[in-house]
Amino acid sequence: MELFMQLLVTGVMLGSIFSLVALGWVLIYKCSGVLNLAMGELTMIGGYVCLALYTWFVTLMPPTQAFLIALGCTLVVGLVLGLLTERIFLRKMIGEPILAVIMVTVGLSFFFKGLVFIIWDTDTQVFQPRLFSIEPIVVAGIAVGEVYLWSFVASMILMVIFVSFFKYTRWGLSMQACADDETAALSVGVSAKFVYALAWAIAFMSAGVGGTLLGNINGLNYSVSSLGLLVLPVVVFGGLNSVPGAIVGGITIGILQNLTGGYLDRFFPGGIKEIAPFVFMVVFLLFKPYGLWGWERIERV
């Protein structure tokens, strides 16, 4: 039971980071119906940008203050990069077949990965000096790494901000209107171009924070980009167009991955926990093709 609770708690905290990255995927799909296959690379870019800023700021101020300022600057950089990416690469694709736009995101994934390799290196890089203590925090006999705890808190705060943004702000409501019925939204003065640009900007921001948190856990290297595919079971489970689904799906997949690694790695060595989410996704799709809260498409003939 102690091992089970340990794996469960760590899985919840790791899953909260998956939820944050999945949120960016859901936003783009909600607004345009496009699966953004470059999400892993957006995560990797955000992590490296925050690392570079932290390395610079830490020479001028204490590490904690340097990290908070670097994280804030990373959000601003993500906002700008998201707007530029939409304006340069994707705005001309409005009205084109969905498959063509998806292939553009595949091209962007290779472009962003190559950009990271040119600017930084392929070797693993870590935040130095270390921000979080290596000594775990023990609560009720369960040891939790300090970096996992703060990553969970940061993910929850940002997700509350994003959900409130969609529910209570004019821009968030405009994005939901475009997702529900783009033609009706245009008829009442909502700018589809602005909504798509905002969706990509927020996707960059949420992925950047996710990459920063992952970088503090395992360090940064090219393998962070594989998170884009790992998050796919998250959004499929919760529903491709559901923000609450991204949160629930992320935590569920995080728990599943941790439990699988803890109990089955001894029988199937070689990364069974990386495969388990995809096996779960395939089985789940047989019974719920649209996810927990995905919109069911009904076509009349």
Instruction: Give the residue-averaged pLDDT of 2-13.
Output: 82
Kindly state whether residue 185 falls inside one of the protein's structural domains.
no
Q: Decide which of 183 and 161 is more confident.
A: 161
User: At 233, is the secondary structure helix, strand, or coil?
Assistant: helix
pLDDT(289) > 70: yes
Q: What domain range is 78 assigned to?
A: 2-155+192-287
Q: Decide which of 91 and 73 is more confident.
A: 73
> For the chain, how many structural domains are there in total?
1
> Going by C-beta distance under 8 Å and a sequence separation of 6 or more, which residues neighbour residue 88?
none
pLDDT(37) > 80: yes
**Residue 296's pLDDT band (boundaries 50, 70, 90)?**
low
**Residue 263's pLDDT band (boundaries 50, 70, 90)?**
confident
Instruction: Give the residue-averaged pLDDT of 68-90.
Output: 89
> What is the reported pLDDT for 69?
92
pLDDT(199) > 60: yes
8-state DSSP, 88 = I
Kindly state whether residue 183 falls inside one of the protein's structural domains.
no
pLDDT tens for each residue of 231-250: 888 888 888 777 778 888 88
**Residue 73's pLDDT band (boundaries 50, 70, 90)?**
very high
Q: Decide which of 76 and 154 is more confident.
A: 76
pLDDT tens for each residue of 101-149: 888 888 988 888 888 888 887 778 888 888 777 777 777 777 777 777 8
> What is the reported pLDDT for 6?
81
CB-based burial of residue 48 (10 Å sphere; 0-12 exposed, 13-18 middle, 19+ buried)? buried
Q: What proportion of the chain, given as a percentage, has pLDDT over 70?
A: 94
**Residue 11's pLDDT band (boundaries 50, 70, 90)?**
confident
> What is the reported pLDDT for 180?
66
pTM of this structure = 0.84
How far is residue 204's CA from residue 194's CA, in Å, rounded to a whole number? 15
User: At 144, is the secondary structure helix, strand, or coil?
Assistant: strand
DSSP string, 235-289: HHHH-TT-HHHHHHHHHHHHHHHHHHHHHHTTTSTTTHHHHHHHHHHHHHHHH-T
Which residue type occupies 28? I
Q: Decide which of 266 and 95 is more confident.
A: 266
> What is the reported pLDDT for 175?
75
Q: Establish whether the linkage from the previous residue to 129 is cis, with ω within 30° of 0.
A: yes
